[in-house]
């Protein structure tokens, strides 16, 4: 079936604007004024936009309600109503029905919060729909809508490729969740409601899942929905516990790049703590500024495996997760122990197992099974997991979905291919990554006279991440962008410290000398690593010093090999490892 182009009209945002809207045909008039529609009210000041996305069965009546009633109740609507520059796009389609328009509205909010020039999105509800008539047409209709909007205003509606490459898009709370994610989110909200209603404190809900299992999207959606429930003014009895007992909320993340993303989402959606103006923070900041007797209601911790389990810098405690539990009624910790990267985050196995065991016994544990990041088939995902989890290299299967897994014996050729992918509009963001096997000291120049700390292999070299100079304009543009989103970083090599928690379309991974292949097995050599956080011994509570480098270096490789959505390119410095990977690609490795 051929799906028609959407009908889109732009008008002044006013009673006269919608009343005097002239359509090009009687059919367009019918679609705009008699069918369900989606609309985008927008205003621009100093090249920055405020937007509201909505849907309605009667665009004339809904516009009057916003202008006459909502503007008296809400400051954001008053600002739009009073502005001389506010406009409105009205979007119609002959296939629109209530469920489809709600899904379109939801996707538009996801896109609009990802646009750099949009500083505020006023409609903040989620409308994810299940299956419905015309659901199979949703993606095509939406793409037609967005392309048409892009032709009308490229600043407000950039290309879909730009949107989808944004870290804000990838962490958006408006993603359509899978059945598994929806089930887990409902479970968590029910567990939170039970804990709050029974006036419990220090309750820990653990959410586990491997890299790429959709933990960040789930958490973002959960964070957003809990905030909406806490501020819901309706009389829905299902919301009453969180509305009355769960207003004080905090999102914690111990990752500089991811912190920027969540802070932008909270700012754009107006999710701010009324007391401090900040609802997203690092764990040390929150712990130092919150007394145990002044508990918040709900704390959500993304990448909880990055929390420190010993004192460091301005943190004087011994375990950040325990300190968070002392300062909250309920803590939701989203974690993957296979992404613990430094000795400050290391958990003794018995202690970690006890934590999980307690959560299971208390019915406070949920697990995400499905791999959502890697667009490969089960055999490809199994090959990557076997290499990481079992230290084995198997012959590389041919991927039925077209996942591009390549092995290189020329590092420059791999870099050129990654660079070409990054320049291709259809390929999206692609970057070079490496194990931390070359020197890097923050805020200090190398002693050998080089301008940068470099990753260097047989004369080929690129600077480590976050070193290339930027002019004032570039610094302004990059201020809120994650490392991989910044244009100049195609000429740098990323580490686990900048790429953890993020996706790349194609990842070019340099496996350095800390990873070797001997006697048919992958082994880890701490002498080949420059990551002191991974190779120095960890002191346990008993005072015993233990070697944890094998585990942490394996986790480092795990993070790097699971970043590529559509492709993974590998170059190994160790000759035996490189040869084994080449034979595996050719299907000739003796197992």
Q: Is residue 591 part of a domain?
A: no
First-to-last alpha carbon distance for the chain, in angstroms, is 50
Residue 21: DSSP 8-state: P
What tokens does 226 get?
Answer: 């809990």
Q: Can you tell me which residue has the tokens 């586990």? A: 208
What tokens does 313 get?
Answer: 């810098």
pLDDT higher than 80, residue 111: yes
pLDDT per residue as tens digits for the range 187-200: 999 999 999 999 99
Q: Give the pLDDT of residue 566.
A: 95
pLDDT higher than 70, residue 235: no
Please report, rounded to a whole number, the percentage of residues in the chain having pLDDT higher than 70. 95
Beta pairing class for 87-92 and 7-12: antiparallel
Cα separation, 473 vs 483, in Å, equals 16
With residue 75 as reference, give the H or E element that holds it: helix 75-82
Q: Is residue 430 part of a domain?
A: yes
Cα separation, 351 vs 431, in Å, equals 37
CB 477 within 8 A of CB 483: no
pLDDT bucket at 350, cuts 50 / 70 / 90: confident
Question: Which of 260, 49, 56 lies closest to 166, judged by CA?
Answer: 260
Question: In the chain, how many H helices and how many E strands?
Answer: 23, 22
Cα separation, 361 vs 313, in Å, equals 35
Q: Can you tell me which residue has the tokens 């401090």? A: 276
Cα separation, 208 vs 339, in Å, equals 11
pLDDT higher than 50, residue 129: yes
Asked whether residue 363 falls in the same domain as residue 396, the answer is no
Question: Which of 502, 205, 565, 585 lies closest to 489, judged by CA?
Answer: 502
CB count in 10 Å sphere of residue 154? 11
pLDDT per residue as tens digits for the range 278-329: 799 999 999 999 999 999 999 999 988 888 888 877 888 888 999 999 999 9
With residue 567 as reference, give the H or E element that holds it: strand 564-572
Residue 108's domain comprises 7-158
**SS3 sequence, 199-237?**
CCCCEEEEEEECCCCCHHHHHHHHHHHHHHHHCCCCCCH
CB 308 within 8 A of CB 255: no
Asked whether residue 503 falls in the same domain as residue 580, the answer is yes
Q: How far is CA 78 from CA 75, 122, 177, 266, in A?
A: 5, 12, 33, 21
Q: Is residue 2 part of a domain?
A: no
What tokens does 202 get?
Answer: 């220090």
Q: Which of 215-219, 273-277, 331-335 has the lowest mean pLDDT?
A: 273-277
pLDDT per residue as tens digits for the range 378-412: 999 999 999 999 999 999 999 999 999 999 999 99
Residue 6: DSSP 8-state: P
pLDDT higher than 80, residue 472: yes
Asked whether residue 362 falls in the same domain as residue 382, the answer is no
Cα separation, 141 vs 93, in Å, equals 8
Asked whether residue 233 falls in the same domain as residue 346, the answer is yes
Please report, rounded to a whole number, the percentage of residues in the chain having pLDDT higher than 90. 68
Residue 399: DSSP 8-state: P
Cα separation, 463 vs 452, in Å, equals 6
CB 335 within 8 A of CB 366: no
Cα separation, 145 vs 42, in Å, equals 17
Q: Is residue 163 part of a domain?
A: no
Q: How many domains does the chain have?
A: 3
CA neighbours within 13 Å on the CB side: how many for 312? 16
Alpha helices in 248-365 (DSSP H): 256-268, 283-289, 320-326, 349-361
At residue 261, the 3 state secondary structure works out as: helix
Asked whether residue 152 falls in the same domain as residue 190, the answer is no
What tokens does 378 get?
Answer: 């089960």
Cα separation, 216 vs 501, in Å, equals 8
pLDDT bucket at 539, cuts 50 / 70 / 90: low
What tokens does 491 get?
Answer: 């000429």
Asked whether residue 306 falls in the same domain as residue 414, the answer is no
Q: Is residue 260 part of a domain?
A: yes
Q: Is residue 169 part of a domain?
A: no
Cα separation, 109 vs 122, in Å, equals 9
Asked whether residue 364 falls in the same domain as residue 389, the answer is no
Q: Is residue 143 part of a domain?
A: yes
pLDDT higher than 70, residue 349: yes
Q: Can you tell me which residue has the tokens 């420190």? A: 308
Q: Which of 58-62, 351-355, 551-555 has the lowest mean pLDDT?
A: 351-355
pLDDT bucket at 274, cuts 50 / 70 / 90: very low
Q: Give the pLDDT of residue 210.
A: 84
Residues 6+ apart with CB under 8 A from 136: none
Q: Determine the angle formed by the axes of helices 98-112 and 138-152, rounding to 10 degrees.
A: 50
Asked whether residue 248 falls in the same domain as residue 270, the answer is yes
Q: Is 47 exposed, middle or buried (0-12, 13-18, 19+ CB in 10 A)?
A: exposed
Q: Is residue 168 part of a domain?
A: no
Residues 6+ apart with CB under 8 A from 393: 387, 517, 522, 580, 581, 584, 589
Residue 214: DSSP 8-state: S
Q: How far is CA 371 from CA 1, 381, 571, 587, in A?
A: 32, 8, 24, 25
Q: Give the pLDDT of residue 234.
A: 61
Beta bridge partners of 570: 407, 509
Cα separation, 307 vs 339, in Å, equals 11
At residue 196, the 3 state secondary structure works out as: helix
Q: Determine the angle formed by the axes of helices 549-561 and 378-390, rounding to 10 degrees.
A: 160
Asked whether residue 195 falls in the same domain as residue 144, the answer is no
pLDDT per residue as tens digits for the range 338-347: 887 777 777 7
Cα separation, 448 vs 353, in Å, equals 46
Cα separation, 55 vs 32, in Å, equals 12
Asked whether residue 145 falls in the same domain as residue 253, the answer is no
At residue 344, the 3 state secondary structure works out as: helix
pLDDT per residue as tens digits for the range 542-577: 666 777 789 999 999 999 999 999 999 999 999 999
Cα separation, 528 vs 35, in Å, equals 66
pLDDT bucket at 219, cuts 50 / 70 / 90: very high
CA neighbours within 13 Å on the CB side: how many for 281? 18
Asked whether residue 305 falls in the same domain as residue 415, the answer is no
Q: Where residue 350 sits, what CATH number does that domain have?
A: 3.40.50
Q: How far is CA 263 from CA 113, 171, 267, 367, 479, in A?
A: 12, 11, 6, 26, 12
Q: Give the pLDDT of residue 311.
A: 81
Cα separation, 316 vs 287, in Å, equals 10
What tokens does 493 get?
Answer: 């090599």
Asked whether residue 333 falls in the same domain as residue 207, the answer is yes
**What's the predicted TM-score (pTM) here?**
0.86
At residue 105, the 3 state secondary structure works out as: helix
């Amino acid at each position: 079936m051929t799906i028609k182009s959407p009908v889109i009209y732009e008008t002044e945002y006013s009673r006269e604007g919608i009343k005097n809207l002239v359509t090009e045909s009687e059919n367009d008039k019918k679609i705009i004024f008699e069918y369900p529609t989606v609309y985008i009210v927008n205003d621009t000041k100093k090249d920055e936009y405020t937007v509201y996305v909505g849907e309605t069965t009667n665009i004339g009546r809904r516009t009057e309600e916003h202008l006459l009633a909502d503007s008296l109740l809400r400051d954001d609507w008053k600002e739009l109503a009073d502005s001389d520059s506010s406009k409105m796009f009205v979007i119609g389609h002959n296939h629109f029905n209530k469920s489809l328009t709600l899904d379109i509205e939801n996707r538009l909010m996801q896109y609009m919060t990802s646009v750099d020039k949009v500083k505020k999105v006023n409609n903040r509800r989620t409308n994810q729909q299940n299956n419905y008539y015309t659901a199979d047409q949703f993606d095509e209709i939406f793409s037609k809508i967005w392309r048409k909007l892009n032709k009308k205003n490229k600043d407000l509606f950039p290309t879909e490729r730009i949107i989808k490459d944004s870290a804000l898009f990838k962490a958006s709370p408006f993603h359509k969740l899978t059945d598994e994610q929806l089930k887990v989110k409902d479970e968590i909200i029910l567990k939170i409601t039970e804990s709050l209603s029974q006036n419990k404190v220090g309750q820990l809900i653990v959410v586990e899942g491997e890299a790429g299992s959709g933990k960040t999207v789930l958490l973002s959606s959960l964070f957003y929905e809990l905030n909406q429930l806490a501020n819901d003014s309706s009389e829905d009895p299902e919301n009453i516990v969180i509305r009355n007992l769960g207003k004080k909320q905090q999102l914690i993340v111990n990752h500089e790049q991811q912190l920027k993303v969540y802070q932008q989402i909270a700012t754009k959606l107006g999710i701010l703590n009324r007391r401090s103006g900040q609802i997203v923070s690092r764990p040390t900041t929150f712990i130092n500024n919150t007394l145990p007797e002044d508990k918040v209601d709900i704390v959500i911790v993304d990448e909880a495996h990055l929390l420190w389990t010993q004192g460091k810098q301005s943190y004087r405690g011994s375990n950040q997760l325990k300190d968070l539990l002392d300062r909250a009624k309920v803590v939701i910790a989203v974690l993957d122990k296979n992404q613990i990267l430094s000795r400050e985050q290391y958990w003794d196995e018995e202690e970690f197992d006890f934590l999980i065991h307690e959560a299971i016994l208390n019915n406070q544990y949920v697990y995400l099974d499905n791999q959502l990041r890697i667009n490969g088939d089960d055999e490809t995902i199994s090959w990557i997991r076997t290499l990481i989890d079992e230290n084995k290299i198997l012959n590389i299967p041919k991927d039925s979905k077209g996942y591009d897994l390549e092995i290189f014996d020329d590092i420059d050729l791999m870099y050129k291919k990654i660079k070409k992918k990054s320049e291709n509009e259809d390929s999206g963001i692609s970057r070079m990554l490496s194990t931390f096997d070359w020197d890097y000291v923050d805020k200090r120049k190398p002693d050998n006279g080089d301008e940068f700390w470099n990753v260097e292999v047989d004369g080929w070299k690129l600077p480590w991440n976050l070193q290339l100079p930027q002019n004032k304009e570039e610094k302004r543009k990059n201020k809120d962008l994650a490392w991989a989103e910044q244009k100049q970083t195609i000429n740098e090599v990323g580490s686990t410290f900048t790429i953890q928690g993020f996706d790349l379309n194609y990842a070019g991974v340099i496996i350095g000398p800390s990873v070797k292949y001997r006697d048919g097995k992958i082994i880890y050599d701490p002498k080949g690593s420059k990551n002191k956080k991974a190779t120095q011994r960890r002191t346990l509570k008993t005072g015993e010093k233990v070697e944890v480098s094998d585990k942490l270096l394996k986790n480092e490789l795990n993070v790097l090999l699971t970043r590529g959505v559509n492709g993974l390119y590998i170059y190994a410095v160790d000759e035996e490892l490189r040869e084994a990977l080449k034979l595996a690609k050719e299907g000739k490795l003796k197992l």
